[in-house]
Amino acid sequence: MMSLVTHNKEEATMEFEKVVKSRHSVRNFTDQAVSKQTICEIIEIAQQSPSWFNSQPWKVYVAMDKLLENIKTECSKNNRAKKPAEPDFPVMDRNEWNVRTKANMEKWRHDIVHHLSDFDDTQNEAGLSLYNAPVILYLTIPKNSSLWSVFDAGSFGQTIMLTAKDMGLDTLPNYNSVRFPKIVRHQLGIPDSETLVVGISLGYAKDATPNTHSTGRATLDDVLKFNN
Ligand SMILES: Cc1cc2nc3c(=O)[nH]c(=O)nc-3n(C[C@H](O)[C@H](O)[C@H](O)COP(=O)(O)O)c2cc1C
């Protein structure tokens, strides 16, 4: 884990850049357990994330051991029965996205399918069994929230993922884990007054496919605009 005492600004920046660049989505985890102590450390650091008026709208429900097994079994049953997903946030059809974001998504699919010929992000075995992760951190915000709280939950989620990486763990933020919120709510005791935002799978990466794939990014010109 990165030392909190840094002696040299350049060294600190490089360490940070290394953490940011080495975080990537992991879709195949080892059986190694994650301790409650580790989870507490990650979440306590992530609580430093900024939020609208310091509202801190997020909550984290931890699925592990028997409860996670129950979630996986129940979700898998629904998946196999081809039950339509009912996520708390609506999913927009790929074809309805804006031209630029749609092109990025198509490129991602093209690259990953080229790398892994049997990859299917919605129906592959790994996805259906929730990637064999030993832990899923489910993030919620109050149902009675402003859109700003989604932004806040996103920054909280990213800090969770970077902190986990810094501590030698890997993550996958995934929609697949929130396709059937009723199951997750029931197993984890999440009240109806909270919206299930996303699940972040947490654990240790297997040195195997599909983890060997690394995604690209759009050019800086496409993202960054200076007007003078
Ligand atoms: C909100 C959200 C939901 C996602 N859902 C899934 C998912 O259900 N299945 C999956 O394989 N990847 C999922 N991803 C991971 C993205 O595909 C991934 O972040 C993106 O391709 C960039 O790759 P990287 O995380 O390796 O940098 C999700 C990412 C986010 C932020």
pLDDT score for 7: 55
- How many structural domains does the chain have? 1
pTM of the predicted model as reported, rounded to 2 decimal places: 0.93
pLDDT in tens, 30-78: 999 999 999 999 999 999 999 999 999 999 999 999 999 999 999 999 9
Q: Is 123 part of any domain? A: no
Q: Is 157 part of any domain? A: yes
Q: Is 191 part of any domain? A: yes
Is the per-residue pLDDT at 135 higher than 70?
yes
Burial of 135 (C-beta count, 10 Å sphere; 0-12/13-18/19+):
buried
Residue nearest to atom 19 of ligand 1 (CA): 25
pLDDT score for 47: 98
Q: Is 10 part of any domain? A: no
Ligand 1 centroid–CA 84 distance in Å is: 20
Handedness of CA 56, 146, 199, 170 (dihedral sign): negative
Regarding the beta carbon of 213 and ligand 1, being less than 6 Å apart is answered no
DSSP code at position 135: E
Regarding the beta carbon of 87 and ligand 1, being less than 6 Å apart is answered no
Q: Is 100 part of any domain? A: no
Torsion-angle region of 3 (φ positive above 0: left; ψ -120 to 50: alpha; else: beta): beta
Percentage of residues in the chain having pLDDT higher than 90: 76
Regarding the beta carbon of 28 and ligand 1, being less than 6 Å apart is answered no
pLDDT in tens, 88-109: 999 999 899 999 999 999 999 8
Is the per-residue pLDDT at 165 higher than 80?
yes
Is the per-residue pLDDT at 3 higher than 70?
no
Helices of type H across the chain: 9-22, 36-46, 65-80, 99-115, 125-128, 148-166, 181-188, 220-223
Is the per-residue pLDDT at 195 higher than 60?
yes
Looking at residue 31, which CATH number applies to its domain? 3.40.109.10
Structural domain containing residue 53: 25-90+131-205
pLDDT score for 205: 96
pLDDT band with cut points at 50, 70 and 90 for residue 123: low
pLDDT score for 89: 96
Q: Is 43 part of any domain? A: yes
Q: Is 135 part of any domain? A: yes
Q: Is 85 part of any domain? A: yes
Is the per-residue pLDDT at 80 higher than 90?
no
Ligand 1 centroid–CA 8 distance in Å is: 34
